[in-house]
Structure 1
Amino acid sequence: MARMQLEPGYEVNLVAAEPLVVAPVAINFDNGGRLWAVEMTGYMPDTAGRGEDAPTGKIVILDDDNRDGVYDRRTVFIDSLRLPRALCFINGGVLVAEPPRLWFYPIENDKPGKRTLVDPKYTEDGNVEHQPNGLLRAIDNWIYNAKSSKRYRFKDGKWLIERTHFRGQWGISQDNYGRLYYNDNSSNVIGDFFLPGFGYGNLDQQNVAGYSERMVADNRVYPARPTPGVNRGYTKGTLDEKLRLRNFTAACAPLVYRGGLLKDSLQSVFVAEPSANLIKRNQIQPSGNVTRGRQAYTGHEFLASTDERFRPVNLNDGPDGALYVTDMYRGIIQHKTYLTEYLKNEIVKRQLSQPLNCGRIYKVIPKNFNTKVISIPTEPDKLVELLGNANGWVRDRAQQTIVDQKMLAAVPYLQQALAGSDHLKTIHALWTLEGLNALNSEQLIPFLSSTNAWLRVEALGIVPSVVNKASYKTYSSVLQRIVQNPDEVTAPYIAYLYPVLSRYDKPGANKLLKQLATLYPQNKYVADAVISNLSGREAQFTSVLNDTAAVFVKRLNKVINNRKSRLLNNDPVKLKKEFPRGAAIFSTTCQTCHGGDGNGIKGLAPPFNKSQWVTGDKRKLIGIVLNGLTGPVEVNDHLYKAPEINGDMPGIGGSKEISDEDIAQLLSFLRRSWQNKASAVTVKEVSTVRSQLKERSSAFTIEELEKVFP
Structure 2
Amino acid sequence: MYSRLYLLAIGLWLSACHTDTSKTPDKQSDSLAIREKYAVSAVLDATTAISHMAVDKGLEVQLVAAEPLVTVPVAMTFDEKGRMWVVEMTGYMPDTLGTGEDIPNGKIVILEDTNQDGKADKRTVFMDSLVLPRAICLVENGILVAEPPRLWFVEINNDQPGKRTLVDNKYTEGGNVEHQPNGLLRAVDNWIYNAKSDKRYRRVGDKWLKQQTHFRGQWGISQDNFGRLYYNNNSENVIGDYFPPGLGANNTEQKNVSGYDEKIVPDNRVYPARATTGVNRGYMKGTLNDSLRLVKMTAACSPLVYRGGLLGKDLDNNIFVAEPSANLIKRNIVKDSGYIVKGHQAYPNKEFLSSTDERFRPVSLYDGPDGALYIVDMYRGIIQHKTYLTPYLKNEIKSRNLTNPLNCGRIYRIVPAGTHPLPVKIDNNPAVLLALLSNNNGWLRDKAQQMIIDHRHISLVPALRSLLQQKDSLYAQIHALWTLEGLGALQLSDVMVLLRQANPYLQAQGLAALPSVINVANGKEAIDELARMEENVFLAPYVALLLPALPPQLYKDAEPLKKQLMTRYPNDPYVADAVIAAMAGKETQLQQQLKSLNPDTTLVLAKRLKRVMKDIENHRKASMDESLQKTYPRGAMLFKTVCQTCHGADGDGIQSLAPPLNQSEIVTGDKYRLTAIVLFGLTGPVTVAGKHYKAPEISGDMPGIGSNDEFSDKDIAEVISYIRGAWSNRAGKVTEKDIQDVRKRYKGRQKSFTMAELQ
TM value normalised by structure 2: 0.91
**2:338 alignment counterpart:** 288
Cα displacement (A) at 1:339: 0.3
**1:312 alignment counterpart:** 362
Question: Aligned residues: percent identity?
Answer: 58
Indicate conservation of the 8 Å contact 1:545/1:553, yes or no. Answer: no
**1:297 alignment counterpart:** 347
Tell me, in whole angstroms, the C-alpha distance in 2 between the residues paired with 1:631 and 1:574: 35
Tell me, in whole angstroms, the C-alpha distance in 2 between the residues paired with 1:663 and 1:406: 54
| SS of residue in 1 equivalent to 2:582 | coil
Pairing 1:193-272 to 2, within 5 Å after superposition? 193-265=242-314, 267-272=317-322
Tell me, in whole angstroms, the C-alpha distance in 2 between the residues paired with 1:376 and 1:577: 56
Tell me, in whole angstroms, the C-alpha distance in 1 between the residues paired with 2:454 and 2:175: 34
Tell me, in whole angstroms, the C-alpha distance in 1 between the residues paired with 2:327 and 2:529: 53
Does residue 1:405 correspond to 2:455, yes or no? Answer: yes
Cα displacement (A) at 1:638: 2.4
| SS of residue in 1 equivalent to 2:128 | strand
Indicate conservation of the 8 Å contact 1:641/1:647, yes or no. Answer: yes
Of the candidates 367, 370, 374, which is equivalent to residue 417 of structure 2?
367
| SS of residue in 1 equivalent to 2:462 | helix
**1:536 alignment counterpart:** 585
Tell me, in whole angstroms, the C-alpha distance in 1 between the residues paired with 2:248 and 2:239: 17
Indicate conservation of the 8 Å contact 1:472/1:504, yes or no. Answer: no
Does residue 1:450 correspond to 2:496, yes or no? Answer: no
Decide which moves more: 137-146 or 492-501: 492-501
Cα displacement (A) at 1:502: 4.2
Aligned residue type for 1:285: K
Cα displacement (A) at 1:148: 0.5
Decide which moves more: 72-81 or 573-582: 573-582
**2:527 alignment counterpart:** 476
Indicate conservation of the 8 Å contact 1:502/1:509, yes or no. Answer: no
| SS of residue in 1 equivalent to 2:239 | strand
**1:629 alignment counterpart:** 682
Cα displacement (A) at 1:663: 1.5
Pairing 1:422-433 to 2, within 5 Å after superposition? 422-433=473-484
Indicate conservation of the 8 Å contact 1:604/1:645, yes or no. Answer: yes
Tell me, in whole angstroms, the C-alpha distance in 1 between the residues paired with 2:61 and 2:571: 49
Cα displacement (A) at 1:125: 4.7
**1:692 alignment counterpart:** 745
Pairing 1:93-132 to 2, within 5 Å after superposition? 93-125=142-174, 127-132=176-181
**2:236 alignment counterpart:** 187
Tell me, in whole angstroms, the C-alpha distance in 1 between the residues paired with 2:531 and 2:198: 32
Cα displacement (A) at 1:212: 0.3
Tell me, in whole angstroms, the C-alpha distance in 1 between the residues paired with 2:568 and 2:418: 55
Aligned residue type for 1:688: D
| SS of residue in 2 equivalent to 1:169 | coil
**2:438 alignment counterpart:** 388
**1:459 alignment counterpart:** 510
Pairing 1:148-167 to 2, within 5 Å after superposition? 148-167=197-216
Pairing 1:648-687 to 2, within 5 Å after superposition? 648-687=701-740
Tell me, in whole angstroms, the C-alpha distance in 1 between the residues paired with 2:624 and 2:648: 17
Tell me, in whole angstroms, the C-alpha distance in 1 between the residues paired with 2:432 and 2:495: 23
| SS of residue in 2 equivalent to 1:114 | strand
Cα displacement (A) at 1:566: 1.8
| SS of residue in 2 equivalent to 1:68 | coil
Aligned residue type for 2:223: Q
Indicate conservation of the 8 Å contact 2:175/2:644, yes or no. Answer: no
**2:376 alignment counterpart:** 326
**1:602 alignment counterpart:** 655
Aligned residue type for 1:438: A
Cα displacement (A) at 1:25: 0.2
Cα displacement (A) at 1:609: 1.3
Does residue 1:21 correspond to 2:73, yes or no? Answer: no
Tell me, in whole angstroms, the C-alpha distance in 2 between the residues paired with 1:5 and 1:340: 30
| SS of residue in 1 equivalent to 2:287 | coil
**2:574 alignment counterpart:** 525
Indicate conservation of the 8 Å contact 1:320/1:373, yes or no. Answer: yes
**1:436 alignment counterpart:** 487
Tell me, in whole angstroms, the C-alpha distance in 1 between the residues paired with 2:732 and 2:181: 34
Of the candidates 43, 54, 58, which is equivalent to residue 92 of structure 2?
43
Indicate conservation of the 8 Å contact 1:132/1:169, yes or no. Answer: yes
Cα displacement (A) at 1:701: 1.7
Indicate conservation of the 8 Å contact 1:340/1:698, yes or no. Answer: no
| SS of residue in 2 equivalent to 1:532 | helix
| SS of residue in 2 equivalent to 1:497 | helix
Tell me, in whole angstroms, the C-alpha distance in 1 between the residues paired with 2:495 and 2:686: 50
Indicate conservation of the 8 Å contact 1:99/1:125, yes or no. Answer: no
Tell me, in whole angstroms, the C-alpha distance in 2 between the residues paired with 1:267 and 1:77: 33
TM value normalised by structure 1: 0.97
Aligned residue type for 1:648: D
Tell me, in whole angstroms, the C-alpha distance in 2 between the residues paired with 1:27 and 1:240: 35
Tell me, in whole angstroms, the C-alpha distance in 1 between the residues paired with 2:237 and 2:692: 22
Tell me, in whole angstroms, the C-alpha distance in 1 between the residues paired with 2:174 and 2:605: 40
Indicate conservation of the 8 Å contact 1:449/1:482, yes or no. Answer: no
Aligned residue type for 1:379: N
Aligned residue type for 2:606: V
**1:73 alignment counterpart:** 122
Tell me, in whole angstroms, the C-alpha distance in 2 between the residues paired with 1:124 and 1:476: 40
Pairing 1:42-61 to 2, within 5 Å after superposition? 42-61=91-110
Pairing 1:468-617 to 2, within 5 Å after superposition? 468-483=519-534, 486-542=535-591, 543=595, 544-617=597-670
Indicate conservation of the 8 Å contact 1:502/1:508, yes or no. Answer: no
Cα displacement (A) at 1:126: 5.1
Unaligned runs of 5+ in 2: 1-49
Return closer, same or farther for 1:674/1:437 CA change in 2, 3 Å cut-off.
same
Aligned residues between the structures: 704
Tell me, in whole angstroms, the C-alpha distance in 2 between the residues paired with 1:469 and 1:22: 54
| SS of residue in 2 equivalent to 1:113 | strand
| SS of residue in 1 equivalent to 2:621 | coil
Aligned residue type for 2:185: L
Decide which moves more: 694-703 or 596-605: 694-703
Deviations 1:608-657 (A, max 9, x none): 11111100111111111111111122222222211111111011112222
Pairing 1:697-708 to 2, within 5 Å after superposition? 697-706=750-759
**1:90 alignment counterpart:** 139
Indicate conservation of the 8 Å contact 1:15/1:361, yes or no. Answer: yes
Tell me, in whole angstroms, the C-alpha distance in 2 between the residues paired with 1:480 and 1:666: 52
Indicate conservation of the 8 Å contact 2:174/2:644, yes or no. Answer: no
Pairing 1:337-348 to 2, within 5 Å after superposition? 337-348=387-398
Q: Runs of 4 or more off by more than 6 Å in structure 1?
A: none
Tell me, in whole angstroms, the C-alpha distance in 2 between the residues paired with 1:378 and 1:516: 46
Cα displacement (A) at 1:184: 0.3
**1:278 alignment counterpart:** 328
Aligned residue type for 1:411: V
Tell me, in whole angstroms, the C-alpha distance in 2 between the residues paired with 1:488 and 1:347: 55
Deviations 1:95-142 (A, max 9, x none): 111001111111111101021111111102551111100000000100
Aligned residue type for 1:309: R
| SS of residue in 2 equivalent to 1:599 | coil
Deviations 1:583-630 (A, max 9, x none): 222122111111222121111111111111100111111111111111
